[in-house]
Chains A and B, each alone.
Chain A
């Protein structure tokens, strides 16, 4: 059996994990707790809710999506800084080709009493074909006034000049694209997923 949407929990200290169905995850991070989890989505939707329940709780959520054909993918990630002095990071990167579409919704919520929180959320998407579509709605819901937050989203095709440069060095277009896409994903995903990622690239790029 191949796992189409693998995940890897790197760090799980004082975390309660609930996985009501194979698309949904709830993580409750307790005092001094630490969560680091990677998701790779190629077919199924993903719905993640992280609640940083107590002081010094922190989390890192990495997610990559690779989508093709006329597939549609919804990725919803919400981090609730329920308590003060909590820290969150979300890194989401993805590639959409053919006529696929992706909708990414990321929420960082910091209620009024959750001072001194640090919440970050970054999304980047590459569209490989004119009919592929990526929509990103990054949302910060900040009610506390003494917090550090950043978010950003960038979506676009591969850089035409980089592609041309690689081709002038003798690399066929699909190879050049793969090199750029691998560098785009960088080390966001763990070594364990590289066969799946390379397999996807070989078929779709």
Chain B
């Protein structure tokens, strides 16, 4: 397999506080990698740094995506290269209708890849297939992005956005936090159907809820800003049984 994402000796800080302290991680094309770790170990910082959040400063190291220097790109350039971040706390955008927003986003990606904008009819078809699969109603599509939705609905909408934008690399940041069993199942299945040989996932979590629906190829344990152990999916069970103290 070829590496889709290569992180080498990554150091990052927010303000004066160093959070990532020399992190190494490689994720191959098609691979599902779970990042597990206790609260405060830097998991969410890792996802923010990969997607280019301006509050974090990388002080050392590199991130290569499809062989290119990701750290030189703006967040939108990263997105249009195929990086997608499903937010732990999806941001509300009052006054911005979801369907229109997704059409704009899809066309931004097409433009970045030298393609023509999608026509209205094709877009409706494209959207409706994906909305139906995730139980997103017409009424939800017309509402402003994430405004007035429950926690579970917001995570479903993040999954829907991911399905719409068809990224090559999907980061799911604590996607399973605050989800009831039904919502978890919908999100889990939504992720599972997107698995394919050229698409990789990085699933950030601190327990095994989502991993019951999306079986990872490998699991990396993160502690204090570095990856301390990487192994197969059997690691999930080890974490569930004895916590993070052994790592």
Contact = CB atoms under 8 A, between A and B. Distances in A.
A172 B91 contact: no
A162 B93 CA distance: 7
B114 interface: no
15 contacts: A168-B78, A168-B79, A169-B108, A169-B161, A169-B165, A170-B76, A171-B108, A172-B74, A173-B76, A179-B96, A179-B104, A183-B93, A183-B94, A183-B144, A184-B95
Interface stretch (B30-38, B80-88, B222-230): B80-88
Given A164-B53, A164-B75, A175-B104, A170 B80 contact: yes
Contacts of A169: 76, 79, 101, 105, 108, 161, 165
A175 B107 CA distance: 12
Given A170-B76, A172-B74, A173-B74, A165 B87 contact: yes
Contacts of A162: 91-93
B210 to A, nearest CB: 20
A166 B109 CA distance: 12
Interface of A: 160-162, 164-173, 175-176, 179-180, 182-184, 186
Given A168-B79, A171-B105, A160 B91 contact: no
B75 A168 contact: yes
A178 to B, nearest CB: 10
Q: How large is the interface on B (under 10, 10 to 19, 20 to 34, 35 or more residues)?
A: 20 to 34
A171 B109 CA distance: 8
Contacts, number: 70
Nearest to B87: A165
A183 B96 contact: yes
Contact of A170 (B53, B90, B92, B108): B108
A175 B84 CA distance: 18
Interface string B98-132: 00010011001100100000000000000000000
Nearest to A159: B91
B224 to A, nearest CB: 26
Interface string B142-174: 001000000000000000010001000000000
Contacts of B95: 182-184, 186
Contacts of B101: 169, 179
Contacts of A171: 76, 104-105, 108
Contacts of A183: 93-96, 144
B52 interface: yes
Contact of A165 (B74, B91, B165): B91
A170 B109 contact: yes
A172 B108 contact: yes
Given A165-B91, A183-B94, A183-B95, A170 B54 contact: no
Contacts of B205: none
Given A165-B90, A170-B105, 19 more contacts: A160-B54, A164-B54, A165-B87, A165-B93, A166-B93, A167-B52, A168-B76, A168-B79, A168-B85, A169-B76, A170-B76, A170-B112, A171-B105, A172-B76, A175-B104, A176-B76, A179-B93, A183-B95, A186-B95
- A-B pairs with lowest CB-CB distance, top 3: A183-B95, A167-B75, A165-B91
A168 B51 CA distance: 7
A171 to B, nearest CB: 5
A184 B101 CA distance: 15
B76 A167 contact: yes
Contacts of A176: 76
A113 to B, nearest CB: 41
A143 to B, nearest CB: 37
A158 to B, nearest CB: 12
Contacts of B80: 170
Nearest to B108: A170
Contacts of A180: 93, 96
